Amino acid sequence: MPIYISLYGLGVDSRFWDEPEIYNPDRFTESNNIPDAYIPFGIGPRMCVGMKVGQLHAKIVLALLLRDYEIWQTKDNESVLDPRSTFTAAGNGIYLHFKEIKKIIQEEWRDGL
């Protein structure tokens, strides 16, 4: 029998997280981690076998983007959840601003390493 668990529901449940509506990356440090409430890759014997590859891929893409761009979202175009989606998905798209970090700054940074 398929079982669907709302990861969004778990993520905003105040029984597990302080201030669940606030974005706080420290929530995901290992010392704060509540394994049964943070399960983006599933749990148990059938959990995702590609977790480390997926995490590494995400880190590489983020590092490459953040190396070259400042990225931000403004209050007037914040994403809202699609209430009809089975998965956690933006209902109105995801609008981000990108500003290229000047090449010269990158060169100075590389030379300094």
Task: Confirm if 37 and 19 have CB atoms less than 8 A apart.
Answer: no
Nearest to 90 by CA among 74, 78, 76: 78
| 37 touching ligand HEM, by CB under 6 A | no
Q: Is 48 a known ligand-binding residue?
A: yes
Give how many residues touch ligand HEM by CB under 6 A.
12
Smallest gap from residue 54 Cβ to ligand HEM (A): 3
How distant, in Å, are the alpha carbons of 47, 51, 52, 107 from that of 90?
Answer: 25, 23, 25, 36
| 5 touching ligand HEM, by CB under 6 A | no
- Name the residues that contact ligand HEM, by CB under 6 A: 40-43, 46-50, 53-54, 58
